[in-house]
Amino acid sequence: MIRAVLDANVVVSSLINPQGVPAQVLDAWRAERFQVVLSAAILDEIGRVLRYPRVAVYHRWSEERLHLWLEDFAYLALMTPGTLSLAIIQEDPRITAIWSVRWKEPRRISSAATACSYPWGYTRAFRLCLPASF
């Protein structure tokens, strides 16, 4: 099953507008099409934002109902400690130079697939997308 970390804004937006795209994401989760991965920090942020007066007018939940909803959400999600240790690869100045040129001159960025060769011999094709293409 796919595991996905949802930004707190997606969860809050789904409760504010039950017909919006974020609500469709949570509907897919409820239909068990993917599993939500959640950390205590994200859960705290969701609770904090849902308590804002300008947000609370949309859901109109009591503190008790909000608390129970957060408990249920945490119970149904895959809870993670929210920390991750990674082995970081040292930055290669050649790759940095390529990206800095591309972002300084966006006209040169094409929507076609582009290949990037890494110094350790691995080549990966990827598609560059500018915000306007979303």
Residue 120: per-residue pLDDT: 43
Give residue for tokens 């300084």.
104
Share of residues in the chain with pLDDT > 90 (%): 55
Helix (H) or strand (E) holding 78: strand 78-80
CA proximity to 44, closest of 91, 89, 11, 93: 11
Q: What are the tens digits of pLDDT across the range 59-72? A: 999 999 999 999 99
**From the CB of residue 2, how many other CB atoms can be counted at a distance below 10 Å?**
7
Domain chopping of the chain, boundaries: 3-80, 93-133
Residue, of 88 and 97, whose pLDDT is higher: 88
Residue 76: per-residue pLDDT: 94
> pLDDT-derived band of residue 84, with 50, 70 and 90 as boundaries?
low
Q: What are the tens digits of pLDDT across the range 99-124? A: 444 444 444 444 333 444 444 444 44
**pLDDT over threshold 80, residue 5:** yes
Least confident of 25-29, 32-36, 88-92, 121-125: 121-125
Helix (H) or strand (E) holding 27: helix 21-30
Q: Is the pTM of this model over 0.85?
A: no
